[in-house]
Amino acid sequence: MSEIVVTHVPHKRSIPFGQEAVGALSIIALGAIGYFLYPDDLAFLTRLIGIAFLVLSLDLVTGYCGVATLGHAAQFGVGAYAAGIACVRGITDPVALLAVGVFAGTIMGLISGALITRFRGLPQLVLSIAVGQLVAALANKLSWLTGGSDGLSGITPGKVFGIFNFDMYSRTAFLFSLGVLVIVFVLLQRFVRSPFGLMCRGIKDDDLRARMIGVSIYPRLVVMYGVAGAVAGIGGALTAISTGVVGLDSVSFERSAEVLVMLVLGGAGHLWGALAGTVIFMIFEHIVAAANPFHWMTLVGLLLILIVVFAPRGLIEPVLSLASRFKRKGEAA
Amino acid sequence: MNKGAQSILALAILGLMTGTASADVIKVGVIGTFSGPYALFGKNFKMGIDAWVAQNGNKVGNHTVEFVYKDEEGPNPAKSKALAQELLVKDKVQYLAGIYFTPNALAVAPLLEESKTPLIVMNAATSAIVEKSPYIVRTSFTMWQNTVPAAKVAFKNGAKKVAIAVSDYGPGIDAEAAFKKTFEGEGGAVVEAVRIPLATTDFSPIMQRIKDSGADTIFTFLPSGPPTLGFVKAYLDNGLKAGGVKLMSTGDVVTEPDLPNIGDPGIGILSTYHYSVSHDSKENAAFLAELKKGGASLDEVTMTSVAAYDGARLIYKMIEATDGKRDPAKAVDAVKDMKWISPRGPVSIDPATRHIRQNVYVRSVAKVDGKLINKEEQTFADQPDWALSTK
């Protein structure tokens, strides 16, 4: 683990904002491929981006802080419901709805963080499930507000910046989501390499040692949870805006478990790992479900087993070690 | 990893490139639950459609009809909407059909007008769905449709004090409201109303509560599956049946695949429903024979196969009326007021609501030739969706 932390310390001679530029350009390039090569699949790709925010958010608490959680969909769902309810009640500007989602997600993140990070290990896991279930039960019970099991429908957001309408082909929704993803990703790249982010890694690697050098762990984890909540809230709000409905699935246990699988698949503790996991899992699922809508789940299970057996620390790990080997070779020469 | 990524990418490209439409093929996108706990009902969609195609061929005039299936998996509106968009944009389907869950139907509804696509709902049973778009027609049922006759029969059978126990989600709450309104309207009293969380498997405490309430009849609705069996078992084991408390339910609670598990003690349980597998008519016999020919086991047949079979009939009629052109208004007009004999009995599409009008049967569990069936005893003819229309 310590080796990775070192690679995240900025080099002296590096170009300022180099990593961020690379990150932004890579996502834009991937987005452009999606937009131009698969113009018929933008609805799916938009959904993928929405989930990617949730996986990134989970990465912040699980990958960077070592918090085990199976209730992370709560933040996503609260963001989605908040944005959806705001839209139904008259706020239709997509950017404002996004802000609503961020706000609700942050609050939810702080609350669950305050509860969950008090404990470690199994109690923590159990508590995270409890928080997730509590939110799910509330979403079902408060049907006058959330639509209950029928889902919250009738969300019709206005035009983006007053110009671009949300259309059936999801062009606007896709570009809007992609733009938000680029901004959030760049900010997160900075954030995880900030002293705060590095300290969270330190806490994850050895919390006793962190305590010994005078770090108070609990408030840091709560703040991190708040940030994660904001990121998940963005994902929720984007999903609500682009699909026009919010259902109980967005706060369900299955959603929480699924994103954990995606994160482990890509590699926890790396932002790129979170993205890669989401993209690979969802595209694979999409293709096999289209090819065989009756037995596709078996194939997804098979993929997961294969990856856990051959790349137990996520798909990003072998890529990173390859990259660092090249780097070392270059430095030696 | 690089190799892995390459092959996944290659797979991706391959997968995304297939599926272009040729001129005279009319595609119908069917969204259903084909995996997970509700897979049986999605499978029944396909069985019903296959039976229709086997009987009527895959051509309407000179247009070839092709059904494309997508898995909605569970109540997941965002996914269903993306699937519908994909069907419309990529597969260029002219009709959408299927849909098991209400939230999923509500998510798809806003796409219909922009894409000019009719949607035939083959299950999702919340009344309001048909109001979401003028291009929605429904061939299944609603909770109100099946529950109102149940309340009338309960009152006629001498029930005075009823305890209602329903699952705590949309259709359950619909059923509770429908029963309460009708039963109290007739002059009876509802002494207890319990909403049971969907994941409940131990119903003994609920039975105790019902016992304490002094009710003489229980009305219940739970979505078919493990909970319904548990509920009926608890009713029998806790001595309520022996104590003279009657059980009245919608047909979801005593589906045919569950009857062998309930066993002989279940004989006499009353339910109201729009379709029994044992419905005695030549149309149903032909339908079941066709299902069997298609390789289906008759123990798996549920109401969704009939809804899909009748839905396919409407789609064929729509294609015929529009001569294969995309004209949703004309297509929907062509099936409004359509009347035919379905395997479930005589049915028609209500022109005002675009929901199916049908007989609702009062059935009791009975043993015929050593097999438990839902025996139809009384018929409420030509029932509308009571929440939408008053006629």
Q: How far, in Å, CA of A34 to CA of A55, rounded?
A: 20
Instruction: Please report the domains of chain B, with CATH numbers, ordered by start residue.
Output: 21-141+281-353 (3.40.50.2300), 144-273+360-383 (3.40.50.2300)
Domain A2-251 has CATH 1.10.3470: yes
Q: How far, in Å, CA of B62 to CA of A167, rounded?
A: 33
In chain A, residues with a C-beta closer than 8 Å to the C-beta of B39 are 294
Contact A249 B126 (CB under 8 A): no
> In this complex, is the C-beta atom of A151 within 8 Å of any C-beta atom belonging to chain B?
yes
**Residues 95 to 134 of A: which have CB under 8 A from any B CB?**
none
pLDDT of the residue at B3:
54
C-beta of residue A252 within 8 angstroms of C-beta of residue A139: no
C-beta of residue B308 within 8 angstroms of C-beta of residue B49: yes
pLDDT of the residue at A9:
52
Residue carrying the six token digits 């409420």: B380
Please provide the DSSP assignment of B74-139 as one string.
SS-HHHHHHHHHHHHHTS--SEEEE--SHHHHHHHHHHHHHHT--EEESS---GGGGGG-TTEEE-
Q: How far, in Å, CA of A147 to CA of A63, rounded?
A: 34
C-beta of residue A6 within 8 angstroms of C-beta of residue A196: no
- CB-closest option in A50, A250, A293 to B70: A293
C-beta of residue B313 within 8 angstroms of C-beta of residue B326: no
C-beta of residue B315 within 8 angstroms of C-beta of residue B120: yes
DSSP-derived letter for residue A213 is: T
Q: A245, A253, A294, A298: best mutation site toward chain B, by most B Cβ within 10 Å? A: A245
In chain B, residues with a C-beta closer than 8 Å to the C-beta of A248 are 75, 103
CA-wise closest residue to A185 among A272, A96, A103:
A272
Alpha-carbon distance A194 to nearest alpha carbon in chain B (angstroms): 30
Alpha-carbon distance A280 to nearest alpha carbon in chain B (angstroms): 8
Q: How many residues does chain A have?
A: 333
In chain A, residues with a C-beta closer than 8 Å to the C-beta of B71 are 289, 293-294, 296
Contact A153 B107 (CB under 8 A): yes
DSSP-derived letter for residue A251 is: G
Q: How far, in Å, CA of A247 to CA of A242, rounded?
A: 13
Token pair of A239 as six digits: 């999903």
Report strand pairing: B59-60 vs B95-98.
unpaired
Alpha-carbon distance B168 to nearest alpha carbon in chain A (angstroms): 8
- CB-closest option in A43, A147, A318 to B86: A43
> In this complex, is the C-beta atom of A297 within 8 Å of any C-beta atom belonging to chain B?
yes
Contacts of B359 (CB under 8 A, 6+ apart): B274, B344, B345, B346, B347, B379, B380, B381, B382, B383
Residue carrying the six token digits 């699949």: A41
pLDDT along chain A (333 residues), means of 10: 49 69 92 90 92 96 92 95 94 94 97 92 93 93 85 85 80 93 95 92 90 90 96 96 89 92 91 93 89 83 86 84 79 60
Alpha-carbon distance A237 to nearest alpha carbon in chain B (angstroms): 12
Nearest CA in chain B to A294: B34
Report strand pairing: B356-368 vs B345-349.
antiparallel
pLDDT of the residue at B180:
94
Task: Tell me the ipTM for this assembly.
Answer: 0.75
Q: How many residues does chain B have?
A: 391
DSSP-derived letter for residue A295 is: T
Contact B70 A290 (CB under 8 A): yes
Q: How many CB atoms lie within 10 A of CB B38?
A: 22
Alpha-carbon distance B84 to nearest alpha carbon in chain A (angstroms): 9
Q: B106, B143, B176: best mutation site toward chain A, by most A Cβ within 10 Å? A: B106
Residue B181 burial (CB < 10 Å; 0-12/13-18/19+)?
A: middle
Contacts of A329 (CB under 8 A, 6+ apart): none
> In this complex, is the C-beta atom of A289 within 8 Å of any C-beta atom belonging to chain B?
yes
Q: How far, in Å, CA of B152 to CA of B156, rounded?
A: 6
Nearest CA in chain A to B172: A149
Q: A249, A287, A300: best mutation site toward chain B, by most B Cβ within 10 Å? A: A249
What pLDDT digit, counting tens, does each position of B344-368 carry? 999 999 999 999 999 999 999 999 8
The region, left, alpha or beta by phi > 0 then psi within -120 to 50, assigned to residue B221 is: beta
Contacts of B6 (CB under 8 A, 6+ apart): none
- Between the alpha carbon of residue B230 and those of residues B146, B202, B204, B299, B302, the distances in Å are 22, 7, 9, 20, 19
Q: How far, in Å, CA of B17 to CA of B20, rounded?
A: 8
In chain B, residues with a C-beta closer than 8 Å to the C-beta of A150 are 102-103, 106, 126, 170
Backbone angles phi, psi at B217, to 5 degrees: -145, 145
pLDDT of the residue at A87:
94
Inter-chain CB pairs, A–B, below 8 Å: 136
Q: How far is CA A120 from the centre of its chain?
A: 22
- Containing B151, the helix (H) or strand (E) segment is helix B143-156
Contact B8 A284 (CB under 8 A): yes
DSSP-derived letter for residue A70 is: S
Q: Both ends of chain A: CA-CA distance in Å?
A: 26
C-beta of residue B124 within 8 angstroms of C-beta of residue B100: yes
> In this complex, is the C-beta atom of A283 within 8 Å of any C-beta atom belonging to chain B?
yes
Contacts of B202 (CB under 8 A, 6+ apart): B230, B234
In chain B, residues with a C-beta closer than 8 Å to the C-beta of A319 are 1
Sign of torsion over alpha carbons B272, B274, B275, B278: positive
Residue A292 burial (CB < 10 Å; 0-12/13-18/19+)?
A: middle
pLDDT of the residue at B215:
92
DSSP-derived letter for residue A59 is: I
Token pair of A253 as six digits: 């246990």
pLDDT along chain B (391 residues), means of 10: 53 46 79 88 94 93 93 86 90 94 89 92 90 94 93 92 89 90 93 86 90 92 80 89 89 85 86 92 94 88 93 95 92 93 94 93 91 91 81 46
In chain B, residues with a C-beta closer than 8 Å to the C-beta of A290 are 15, 70
CA-wise closest residue to A75 among A96, A97, A53:
A53
In chain A, residues with a C-beta closer than 8 Å to the C-beta of B173 are 143, 148
Alpha-carbon distance A196 to nearest alpha carbon in chain B (angstroms): 32
- CB-closest option in B16, B85, B170 to A149: B170
Token pair of B12 as six digits: 């991706």
pLDDT of the residue at B17:
46
pLDDT of the residue at A7:
52
Contacts of A313 (CB under 8 A, 6+ apart): A267
pLDDT of the residue at A333:
54
CA-wise closest residue to B195 among B231, B150, B164:
B164
CA-wise closest residue to B109 among B364, B328, B317:
B328
> In this complex, is the C-beta atom of A253 within 8 Å of any C-beta atom belonging to chain B?
no
CA-wise closest residue to B225 among B254, B196, B249:
B254
- Containing B342, the helix (H) or strand (E) segment is strand B339-342
Contact B132 A153 (CB under 8 A): yes
Contact A151 B88 (CB under 8 A): no
Q: How far, in Å, CA of B186 to CA of A13, rounded?
A: 85
pLDDT of the residue at A2:
43
Report strand pairing: B356-368 vs B371-383.
antiparallel
In chain A, residues with a C-beta closer than 8 Å to the C-beta of B169 are 140, 148-149
- Containing A110, the helix (H) or strand (E) segment is helix A94-116
Alpha-carbon distance A174 to nearest alpha carbon in chain B (angstroms): 12
CA dihedral B320, B324, B325, B328 (to 10 degrees): 50
Q: How far is CA B370 from the centre of its chain?
A: 28
